[in-house]
Structure 1
Amino acid sequence: PYLDFDISLMVYELLPYINDTIWIGKMNRINQRVDTSKWEKKDFKYLDMVKESQTDEFIEDMYNEFKDNKKVKWKDSIKKLMNLPEEEIG
């Protein structure tokens, strides 16, 4: 999953070093997986940015930006959102 607000910048920076593919997917169950019990108020700023980057609108824009790039592949979380066929593995 991507954990950065500016995933496009990260992908563009990594593409020259990618020989095969880079897979992009959402972080599933953020609220259940991230233990915030010892966080201070300021710590939630980063989590809020990650959550914002996981919205349907944000993902749709990102998908449209990279959909024609053969080095970018989509995890099931994004395939479901974009109504793309999910491939069988194995």
Structure 2
Amino acid sequence: MPDRDVTVLAASDRLVAAPPADSHTPFTGGLIEVLRSGVADGSETLSLSELYGELRRRLAAEGSPLPTLTTHNDTGQVALTRNRAR
């Protein structure tokens, strides 16, 4: 049986609802914003680990619950998207 890798980027282990004025939870809204705006000091392409780091930084700055990232066999280093800030 071949090895299977599982990579998970998830919201915190707490139940979080979207604020009344927003259509997304802080995690989902933050992830969308990082994908839209990119990472100013990031590489040309963004890996899951880079997305996670930026999302975690932004959520911490606004006092939102922090996400978790679990990777196996360096799957966090795989490029997922172009960095729109570059």
Q: TM-score range by the shorter chain?
A: under 0.3
Question: Higher Cα Rg: structure 1 or 2?
Answer: 1
Normalising to structure 2: TM-score of the pair? 0.24
Normalising to structure 1: TM-score of the pair? 0.24
